[in-house]
C-alpha cells in the first residue's frame, strides 16, 4: 500500500519533470547536462513530500505538481554546485560521475544556474496560467525561495565550506544541517500545504513536523556515510571524513545518532496525529526515511 | 535635464538595492560578497530602462522599483559567474578585482547563486505584498525569468563558451549577443511596461525597441574593447582578443561597427516616436548608450 502510493507519486513527478526538461532547442548541451543530473536516480523525496502534504489537506495534486517539480529542479542545482571542484570536489553522485566530470566545469556551473532559474520559471508560469490560484502558488514559491537562498541552502553551504577540517559544536553542526538540508524539506511540505489552501496553524504544525524529519534525514545521511554499503549508496563510504567534514557521528557516535534519528522521527510522527487517519502516508514516509539504505 | 533625471533614477535604484542587501546576518561573508559586486560601480542601466518604460506608460515608479532591482541582482549574478576561472577567467571588472579574486571561487559561485535566488525572492515577495498587482508583477517576473534562463543569458553564455577561439558568422555572433546581452535588456524594458499595465501592442513595440538597443549596446562594447581607454573602461583593452573571443569588430571593423550602432539606435528611436513626447527620456538614454565611454 505505502510502496505503491510512493511509486505512483514518484511516477507523477518523473513524468512532469520530463515534460519540463525534454526540450529540443539550442544549445542542446545545456539541456543535456540539466537532464543528466535531474534523471540520475533521485528518489524525488522533496516533491513527494510536497504532494503528500497537499493531499493530506485535501488539495488538488495536479495543481501542486509543477510546484513539487520546481523544488526538485532547485534541489538538483544545489547538488551540481556542491559537487564542483571549488566546493566539495566530488567525482561520484548516486553511483555516476558528477556533472562537471561529464560536461566540464563551465557547463556544470551553467547547468546548475539553468536549473535554479528553471525552477522559478516553472513557478512563475504556473501562477500566470492559474490566476485563480495566484495566492497559493505565490505562498508556495515564497517558501521555496526563502529556503533556497542565503537564509537556507546557500547559507548552510557557506558555513559548511568555511568549517571544513574544523571541529564543530552540536549547535554549529545543527545550523549547517538545518540550513543546508532541513530548510528545503520544510519548504517542500509547507509549499504543498499552501497549495491545498492550508491555514496558518496547519502550515506551522507541518513546518515543525518537517523540521524534525529534515534533521533526522541528515543525521541518517551522516550514519550511512560511515556504515552504508558503497554499492547501494552510490558513493564511497567515509567520504565525509576524507573531505574533512564534521558530522553527527563524530559528536555522538553511530549508536547514539541512530537513537536521535528514531527520536526525531517519533516526535515528528506525533505531530501528524493532529491530522488523523489522512496522515498515514506521511507517517509511513517518515519511517521509510529512517530505514532507507541510500 | 537628461543627466539629472538619469541620476535621480540611478539614485532610487541604489537606495533600494541597499535596503535589499544591507543585511546583518549569518553568514556575513556571503552578504559581503554579494554587496561587493552589486556595489562595484554599475551604471544601473537595466533597472533605469525598466523604470523609464514604466514611466513612459504612466505607471507607478515605486511599484516598479523592486522589479527593477531584481533585474540588477540577476544581472550581477551573471557577471560573477561569467568571470569565474572555469568561464572567462577575468581578474578585473569595472577596475576592481573580480569576486572570486577577492572571496575565492567557492564563495563567488555561492554569491552568484545567492543573487540569482534573491532576485526571485524580491519578485515573489513583491507580488505577495501587493495582491492588487499580482498579474502585473507576474508578467514582469515571467519576462525576467525567461530572459535569464536557457532561452536567454544562460543559452548565450553556453554558446559563447563553446565558441571560444572559433571564427563565427554574423548570424552565430548575433545569436550569442541577442541571448547573452539583448535578452535581459528587452526583459527590463518589457517588465517596466507590464508594471504600468501596458497593452500587448505596447509591450511588443517596446520589445522591438529594446532588442535594437540591446544589440547596439553589445556592438558598442565590442568597439570599446578595441579603442576604449583602459582607465575609463576599468579593464584591459583588447581583452576579447586575448580570450579568443570573436566580436563584431572582427567581422566588420571599427568604422562599420560604429555605423551599425548608430543605425540600430536610430531605428530604435524611431519606434519610440509612436509614444510621442513622453518618450524623450528613453530617446536620450538610447543616444547616451552610443556615446558612452565605458
Per-residue pLDDT of chain B (294 residues; tens, 9 = 90+): 899 999 999 999 999 999 999 988 989 999 999 999 999 999 999 999 999 999 999 999 999 999 999 999 999 999 999 999 999 999 999 889 999 999 999 999 999 999 999 999 999 999 999 999 999 999 999 999 999 999 999 999 999 999 988 899 999 999 999 999 999 999 999 999 999 999 999 999 999 999 999 999 999 999 999 988 777 777 777 788 888 888 999 999 999 999 999 999 999 999 999 999 999 999 999 999 988 877
- Is residue A101 a contact partner of residue A40, using CB atoms and an 8 Å limit? no
- Is residue B210 a contact partner of residue B144, using CB atoms and an 8 Å limit? no
CB contact, 8 Å: B76 with chain A?
A: no
Contact at CB, A114 and B29, closer than 8 angstroms: no
Question: Which of A84, A125, A155 shows the shortest C-beta gap to B142?
Answer: A125
Quote the DSSP letter at residue A178: I
Q: At what angle do helices B170-177 and B153-162 cross, to 10 degrees?
A: 140
Q: Is the pLDDT of residue A141 over 90?
A: yes
CB contact, 8 Å: A127 with chain B?
A: yes
Question: Which of A23, A145, A175 shows the shortest C-beta gap to B121?
Answer: A145
Q: How far is CA A232 from CA A89, A93, A126, A224, in A?
A: 21, 12, 36, 10
Nearest CA in chain A to B148: A117
What would you report as the CA-atom Rg of chain A, rounded to the nearest whole angstrom? 18
* Measured distance CA(B6)–CA(B90) in Å, rounded: 29
- Is residue A75 a contact partner of residue A48, using CB atoms and an 8 Å limit? no
Q: How many CB pairs under 8 A join A and B?
A: 154
What is the longest distance spanned by two Cα atoms in chain B? 52
* In chain A, domain spans: 2-291
Interface of B with A in 26-45 (CB under 8 A): 26-27, 29-31, 34
Peptide bond connecting A27 to the previous residue in cis, omega within 30 degrees of 0: yes
- B36-65 burial, b at 16+ Cβ within 10 Å, e below that, comes to bbbebebebbbbbbbbbbbbbbebebebbb
Question: Which of A109, A127, A142 shows the shortest C-beta gap to B125?
Answer: A142
* Measured distance CA(A70)–CA(A247) in Å, rounded: 29
Contact at CB, A109 and B81, closer than 8 angstroms: yes
Q: How far is CA B170 from CA A49, B238, B242, in A?
A: 49, 20, 20
Question: Which of A118, A127, A158 shows the shortest C-beta gap to B149?
Answer: A118
CB contact, 8 Å: A188 with chain B?
A: no
- Is residue B85 a contact partner of residue B4, using CB atoms and an 8 Å limit? no
CB contact, 8 Å: A226 with chain B?
A: no
Q: Is the ipTM of this complex over 0.90?
A: yes
Q: Tell me: domain A2-291, CATH 1.10.600.10, correct?
A: yes
Where is pLDDT greater, at A62 or B242? A62
* Measured distance CA(A136)–CA(B131) in Å, rounded: 12
Residue with cell 508578467: B139
Q: Which three cell numbers stand for residue A144?
A: 521555496
CA-based nearest distance B255→chain A, Å: 32
Q: Which residues of B touch A99 (CB under 8 A)?
A: none
**CB-side exposure of A136: number of CA atoms within 13 Å?**
21
Nearest CA in chain B to A21: B150
Amino acid at each position: 500500500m505505502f510502496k505503491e502510493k510512493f511509486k505512483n507519486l514518484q511516477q507523477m513527478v518523473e513524468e512532469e519533470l520530463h515534460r519540463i526538461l525534454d526540450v529540443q532547442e539550442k544549445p542542446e548541451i545545456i539541456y543535456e547536462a540539466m537532464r543528466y543530473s535531474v534523471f540520475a536516480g533521485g528518489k524525488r523525496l522533496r516533491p513527494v513530500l510536497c504532494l503528500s502534504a497537499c493531499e493530506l489537506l485535501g488539495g488538488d495534486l495536479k495543481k501542486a505538481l509543477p510546484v513539487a517539480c520546481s523544488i526538485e529542479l532547485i534541489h538538483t542545482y544545489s547538488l551540481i554546485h556542491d559537487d564542483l571542484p571549488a566546493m566539495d570536489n566530488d567525482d561520484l553522485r548516486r553511483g555516476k560521475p558528477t556533472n562537471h566530470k561529464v560536461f566540464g566545469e563551465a557547463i556544470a556551473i551553467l547547468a546548475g544556474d539553468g536549473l535554479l532559474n528553471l525552477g522559478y520559471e516553472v513557478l512563475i508560469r504556473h501562477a500566470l496560467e492559474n490566476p485563480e490560484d495566484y495566492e497559493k502558488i505565490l505562498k508556495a514559491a515564497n517558501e521555496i525561495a526563502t529556503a533556497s537562498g542565503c537564509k537556507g541552502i546557500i547559507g548552510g553551504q557557506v558555513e559548511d565550506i568555511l568549517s571544513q577540517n574544523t571541529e564543530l559544536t552540536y549547535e554549529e553542526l545543527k545550523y549547517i544541517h538545518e540550513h543546508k538540508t532541513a530548510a528545503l524539506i520544510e519548504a517542500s511540505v509547507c509549499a504543498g500545504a499552501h497549495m491545498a489552501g492550508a491555514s496558518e496553524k496547519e502550515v506551522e504544525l507541518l513546518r515543525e513536523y518537517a523540521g524534525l524529519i529534515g534533521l533526522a534525514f541528515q543525521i541518517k545521511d551522516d550514519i550511512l556515510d560511515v556504515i552504508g554499503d558503497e554499492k547501494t549508496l552510490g558513493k564511497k563510504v567515509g567520504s565525509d571524513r576524507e573531505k574533512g567534514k564534521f558530522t553527527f557521528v563524530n559528536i555522538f557516535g553511530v549508536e547514539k545518532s541512530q537513537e536521535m534519528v528514531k527520536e526525531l522521527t517519533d516526535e515528528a510522527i506525533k505531530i501528524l496525529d493532529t491530522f488523523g487517519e489522512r496522515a498515514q502516508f506521511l507517517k509511513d514516509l517518515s519511517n521509510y526515511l529512517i530505514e532507507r539504505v541510500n
